[in-house]
Amino acid sequence: MSESIVYGCIRDMVIARGEEALQRREVNRSVMSALPTADSWPLLSREMFAPAPSAVDHDDVRTDVIHFGSSYKAIEHEWKTWIQQFESILKGMYWVSATVHLETLYNGVHTFVWETDADFHLPNSSNMSMRCEWTHESSF
């Protein structure tokens, strides 16, 4: 079996200030903390996610970024389940976009991007869509 690497980020543009911004961050962090621990060998665990402590605040641009990543043994065989679990996480969060990179030895790199038709995704909304891009580099 070959190793697969999965990594990416979830972005939320926090335009609001004060309590609303804090609430958005708290909702997103509570979704991450509700995930199972890595000790139980789930596909997605709380240890693989690293929310930034606070948004970058520069010239009225405030972006919260939650980074994540993990290595797996041939995750492509369980990719449909991984995607379903990731989308379940996204459903409970505030976000503007999410990007997942899947790197495999034999199948190249797949990039999955989730977007919403609105300005941002509201928790428990089904207002999201995903697209996939595939690249395969080979050396001769």
* Residue 124, number of CB atoms within 10 A of its CB: 8
Helix/strand/coil percent split, the chain, to 5: 25, 40, 35
Does residue 54 lie within any of the structural domains? yes
Does residue 81 lie within any of the structural domains? yes
Residue 140 is predicted with a pLDDT of 34
| 3-class DSSP state of 105 | coil
Does residue 90 lie within any of the structural domains? yes
Residue by residue, pLDDT tens for the chain (140 residues) are 689 999 999 999 766 667 877 888 899 999 999 999 999 889 999 999 998 766 555 555 578 899 999 999 989 889 999 999 999 999 999 999 999 999 988 788 899 999 988 888 999 988 888 888 776 554 43
Does residue 70 lie within any of the structural domains? yes
Residue 81 is predicted with a pLDDT of 96
Does residue 140 lie within any of the structural domains? no
- Tally of structural domains, the chain: 1
* Residue 125, number of CB atoms within 10 A of its CB: 15
| 3-class DSSP state of 84 | helix
What's the pTM value of the predicted model, to 2 decimals? 0.87
Q: In which domain, by residue range, is 22 found?
A: 3-135
User: What does the alpha-carbon distance between residue 97 and residue 114 come to, in Å, rounded to a whole number?
Assistant: 6
Does residue 19 lie within any of the structural domains? yes
Does residue 88 lie within any of the structural domains? yes
